[in-house]
Structure 1
Amino acid sequence: MARYHIETYGCTANRGESRTIERRLRDGGHHPADGPADADVAILNTCTVVEKTERNMLRRAEELQAETGDLVVTGCMALAQGEEFVEAGIDAQVVHWDEVPEAAMNGECPTTTPDTDPVLDGVIGILPIARGCMSDCSYCITKRATGKIDSPPVEENVEKARALVHAGAKEIRITGQDTGVYGWDEGERKLHVLLDRICDIEGDFRVRVGMANPKGVHGIREELADVFAENEKLYNFLHAPVQSGSNDVLGDMRRQHQVEEFLEVVETFDDRLDEWTLSTDFIVGFPTETDADHERSMDLLRRVRPEKINVTRFSKRPGTDAAEMKGLGGTIKKERSKAMSELKRDVVGEVHESMVGTRREVLAVRPGTGDSVKCRDGAYRQVIVQHADDHGIEPGDMLEVEITGHETMYAFGRPT
């Protein structure tokens, strides 16, 4: 697991975002370092109030870059003036707050809380359904901590979900190292069965499925897509990290799936659902990735056009097989990451642009910056409603909004 160092500048909202980032990193099995020099990754949450602040942010980014292995920059300056870091020659991943944990995790599976107990965080219920995975990825150190998949019975997880709903959960997040292989240790993958049962629980709530590797989903893709199509409580959202568009690189990563299987999963969901969100991950700069392999990843991204994309530069984790491979130069990784991130912004921006002018029902899930609230529509796309107090909107409320505009990573909605 990674050791991280996080620094936060600016307002209370920024500090709140950093707390959320750090909680997700800790839930993923990662832990804080004593300082940037001891960290595998440094995270700089920036402010951009005045010009002097911007200069300070650039100077601090340069210092952190020199002190640590990898640098992730987020926050207001990163979102409003991300090009400033590029122009200053700072070798960093510049990402939205929500993308920081994935950028810092190097494509590794998340871990769950040590005792896999459910947690209620505001109106969000977090339900770890199993521990461990069936993969043996050459770059991932998480397997050491989690081992093989260990799946509690369906009924046990249903009862935990029911308890979360009774405690006030309006959104249940199904989590695990690889939700797609739930039940594999018992001889039968049962994610679709579990989701169907959870959706039968009485109450007004939504369910989001966490990361599921393509190989695990592929064997139950039709059953799973049918469950999504039949249950309005399920967000039409699937996080299936492909990691590369090259079968050769996938083989070196020991990812178990091939590109064709990933595409068959996507095609099945396209057939069953009118609107859904595909979230996927790419690791750029894996030690054996050639220019042709990188182009295959770019071509796959252009073909599939996922609504949510996590781009991570490969970094070595001690004790993994990939750490023993001869790495690519930092310049190569930086150039490939930049190219894919630019394509990502175009693809994701198209999705939110297409939402403008539509009306949709959303669930308010968390307070946003200032007097705003973060909401999710039926496909788990983020919609920001401003002036929430004026409209009497609080987390947990369901409301109809008209989409009035968008940024790259989210849309703006006005209550109707």
Structure 2
Amino acid sequence: MEEKVIEESKQGTSMVLETKKENQKKLFIESYGCQMNFADSEVVASILANEGYNTTQVLEEADLVLVNTCSIRDKAEVTVRKRLQMYNAVKRDINPKMKVGVLGCMAERLKEKFLDEEKIVDMVVGPDAYKDIPNLLKEVEDGRDAINVILSREETYADISPVRLSSNGITAFVSITRGCDNMCTFCVVPFTRGRERSREPESIVEEIADLWSKGFKEVTLLGQNVDSYLWYGGGLKKDFEKASEMQKATSVDFAQLLDRCATQFPKMRFRFSTSNPQDMHIEVIEVMAKHHNICNYIHLPVQSGSTRILKEMNRQHTREEYMTLVDNIYRIIPDITLSQDIIAGFPTETEEDHQDTLSLLEYVRYDFGFMFSYSERPGTLAARKMEDDVPEEVKKRRLNEIIEVQQRIALERTKRFIGQTVEVLVEKDSKRSDKQWSGRNSQSTVVVFPKENYKPGDFVMVKISDCTSGTLIGEAVGYSEIMN
């Protein structure tokens, strides 16, 4: 399992969607953690829209307050607790009818604490129980605590059309798998989100077709581990070996799904996240190379450059296997961008292990990354079986050294675009100036350029003249061919 890409700017976003006139009740929903959680909030909002709820951003007027939680990082957990205390103060002092519920990964792990010991919520709903929310609300209205954290072997929410929350109308996430089978010792996801199962391909294509009809231009296929997508008629990934010969012959893997999406929607751009090195098959890279509209970017978490530490983490790859995979990716798509997740100071990590991580950064030359120092997560195998024995100041120093090397390489990598003309999907105003557009190129690097007569949703060719470590600066030279 990967540590998901957690966008700090989006943490705690409260979601708003179009109001239905007939809906009388108000829902306030806040999301923390990874993109999967934000996508799940869209599913929940869709279910509740049919139960008479419109979203609101005014906490005080809400009939129902939901917080979608994350168990990966300690920081998220601390923040969510503070938010729950604040909701309860509002409930006590301003709106006694308000009901408070916790959704997602943290809900599964802290159910008794939230409901019985601390009594800070009325309802606890695990990641596979969102369809049960209407029943749970009836329980709450009858004065009972309501809980459903049962993990499912089948649930993929394939039949629910998510309502796009706080969307820019241009880019969207489409979930294709749920759960994870990789028992990485630092990660709690297999215990909070259950075993891996894939969503039916037709429902994925239908959701993308609906997004296309609404004017969306880019889709990120999302899963805890997208590369191991495998549809054979339903059921858990681990049970594939028990499938019939017919099911095996007609199964769809990730390379086939990606190929189908790119072929069927040639004017749409595709990304995917997150990849797991041992499941990143050569066929996926070949499909990427074949289609112009699949972005040249792979988030490829490594976690450590030391084979010994990778083994301690129960990662299913060695340093050498990872390097071979990277060599193959660069050989097939020379213009690719790779990004990483790295954990500094995992239990028993030595200076030699740390040097292995630094030398791997130099070898792979990632464009960017998500780097953390190790913190023990309750419920993980590492917390149960390993002593957190690397001192905090050593973790901090190692993390800073990793960040320093990564930032230097990032600037060198970003400079390669100077003088090139790149295709950019216009997404929004630039943070620095409302006279400039901001978008991303195929390699997921942010590009800013003067607005002229272009608009969000346009694919524009931009000639790059300058850069910072994470942003390309240039001028538009015309529309991309994808616009024809």
Counterpart residue number, 1:406: 467
* CA–CA distance in structure 1, aligned partners of residues 180 and 275 of structure 2: 10
The 1:139/1:246 distance shift into structure 2, 3 A limit, reads: same
- 1:234 maps to 294
What are the equivalent positions in structure 2 for 1:84-99 lying under 5 Å apart? none
Partners of 1:129 and 1:336 lie apart in 2 by 36
Structure 2 partner of 1:359: 421
The one-letter code sitting in structure 1 at the alignment partner of 2:258 is L
1:31 to 69, 83, 94: 69
2:322 paired residue number: 262
SS at match of 1:355: coil
What SS does structure 1 have at the residue aligned with 2:177? Answer: coil
In structure 2, relative to structure 1, the CA distance for the partners of 1:311 and 1:395 (3 Å cut) is same
From 433, 439, 446, the equivalent of 1:375 is: 439
- Change in CA separation of 1:373 and 1:244 when aligned onto 2, cut-off 3 Å: same
| Residue number in structure 2 paired with 1:143 | 190
2:340 is matched with which residue: 273, 280, 284?
280
Say whether the 8 Å CA contact 1:126–1:172 is kept in structure 2.
yes
- The CA distance in 2 between the partners of 1:189 and 1:285, in whole Å, is 39
* Separation of aligned partners in 2, 1:202 and 1:315: 42
Distance in 2, matches of 1:296 and 1:345, equals 18
Distance 2:270 2:387 in 1: 42
Q: How many residues align?
A: 325
Q: Which residue of 2 aligns with 1:178?
A: 225
2:331 equivalent to 1:271: yes
Distance 2:333 2:163 in 1: 30
Q: Would the aligned equivalents of 1:133 and 1:181 in 2 still touch at CA under 8 Å?
A: no
Contact 1:118 1:164 in 2 (8 A): no
Matched, 1:166 2:229: no
Name the SS of the counterpart of 1:25 in structure 2.
coil
User: In structure 1, the residue corresponding to 2:264 is in which secondary structure?
Assistant: coil
Specify whether residues 355 and 17 from structure 1 end up closer, same or farther in structure 2 by C-alpha distance, changes over 3 A only: farther
- State which structure, 1 or 2, has the greater radius of gyration over its C-alpha atoms: 2
**1:61-84 deviation digits (Å, cap 9, x = unpaired):** xxxxxxxxxxxxxxxxxxxxxxxx
Kindly report which structure 2 residues correspond to 1:85-234, keeping only aligned pairs within 5 A, or say none. Answer: 115=157, 118=162, 120=164, 121=167, 122-183=169-230, 184-185=237-238, 186=240, 190-217=253-280, 220=281, 222-234=282-294
1:23-56 residue CA offsets vs partner (Å, 9 max, x unmatched): 56264556389xx9995479xxxxxxxxxxxxxx
Instruction: Provide the rounded CA distance (Å) in 1 between the counterparts of 2:369 and 2:349.
Output: 19
The correspondence of residues 300-319 of structure 1 with structure 2, limited to 5 A, is: 300-319=360-379
Deviation, 1:134, is: 1.8
| Alpha-carbon spacing, 1:256–1:295, altered in 2? closer, same or farther (3 Å) | same
Unaligned runs of 5+ in 2: 1-7, 16-29, 38-67, 81-154, 231-236, 242-250, 478-484
Which position in structure 1 is the counterpart of 2:456? 395
**Among the aligned pairs, what percent are the same residue?**
28
The CA deviation at 1:379 is 2.1
Q: CA deviation at 1:356?
A: 1.3
Select which of 336, 341, 344 maps to 2:406: 344
Structure 1 contact 376–382 (Cα < 8 Å) conserved? yes
Amino acid at match of 1:269: I
TM-score by length of 1: 0.72
Which position in structure 2 is the counterpart of 1:297? Answer: 357
Residues 368, 118 of structure 1: alpha-carbon distance in 2 compared, 3 angstrom cutoff:
farther
Partner SS state of residue 414, structure 2: helix
Distance in 2 (CA, whole Å) between partners of 1:251 and 1:189 is 30
State the Cα distance separating 1:153 from its structure 2 match.
Answer: 2.5
Q: SS of 2:427's equivalent?
A: strand
**Code of the aligned partner of 2:334:** D
* TM-score after normalising by structure 2: 0.62
SS at match of 1:200: helix
User: Which amino acid counterpart does residue 175 of structure 2 have in structure 1?
Assistant: P
Q: CA deviation at 1:400?
A: 1.1
Instruction: Report the CA distance between 1:177 and its aligned residue.
Output: 0.4
**Cα displacement string for residues 189-219 of structure 1 (whole angstroms, at most 9, x for unaligned residues):** 71110000001224521000111110111xx
- The yes-or-no answer on 1:334 pairing with 2:387 is no
CA separation of 1:17 and 1:25: change in aligned 2, threshold 3 A:
closer
Q: Which amino acid aligns with 1:194?
A: L
How far apart are residue 264 of structure 1 and its match?
2.1
Contact residue 118 and residue 126 of structure 1 kept, 8 A: no
CA distance in 2, matches of 1:27, 1:137: 20
Superposition map of 1:70-89 within 5 A = none
In structure 2, C-alpha distance between the alignment counterparts of 1:37 and 1:164, rounded to whole Å: 33
Unpaired segments of 5 or more residues in structure 1?
1-7, 9-13, 43-112
